[in-house]
Amino acid sequence: MKFFPFKKKSIQRFFDKELTRQSTLVKSIPISKIKKVAVLLEEAVYYQNQIIRQIEEMYGIQGCDVHLLVYCAHDKKRAYKSYEFSEKSFGWSGSLKLNSLQEFVKIEYDLFINYGFAENLYMKVITLYSHAHFKIGFSSQDNRMYDLSIADADKRIYVLNEEAVKYLKILKKL
């Protein structure tokens, strides 16, 4: 018997409960400038774009201060790189199996950008777990996990980046 549907439901329950808990907490956003950026994106986007270079240019950040995490669909035959993860990287109730995921979410980034296009539960869990000071992403069904959500029906990366830069300048974070 396959347990995957039950496991996914367990992760979804954890996510809903934790999101509700976190949304009731008062969050203070540091005034400091952005120096360290975390980027979460889907595999197709990563291989089609020069995302790191775009972030360096638009946000004025050096490549060594941009940390990347890429969601890939699970494939038994594939060897995953250290910055890649799949649905098999999660245990019951949203636990993180990989040390690289655990380390990624523990780091206190100044900015966390979720470039996820689809309603991807696993990317949302990583976003929720992240200890980043300021989180940005595309508008979705529930925007409580973001400090700034950008509405764009076509979910274009350049629109998210341009709007984010505009608001980050207003907030004097760039």
Query: Which CATH code, of 2.30.110, 1.20.120, 3.40.50, 1.10.4160, is assigned to 4-27+34-170?
Result: 3.40.50
1 confidence band (pLDDT: 50, 70, 90): very low
The structural domains of the chain, with segments of one domain joined by +, span: 4-27+34-170
Per residue in 115-135, pLDDT (tens digit) is 987 788 999 999 999 999 999
Pairwise CA distance, residues 150 & 136, whole Å: 8
More confident call, 113 vs 1 = 113
For 56-114, the pLDDT digits (tens) are: 888 888 878 999 999 998 888 888 888 899 999 999 888 999 999 999 999 999 999 99
The reported pLDDT for the residue numbered 58 is 86
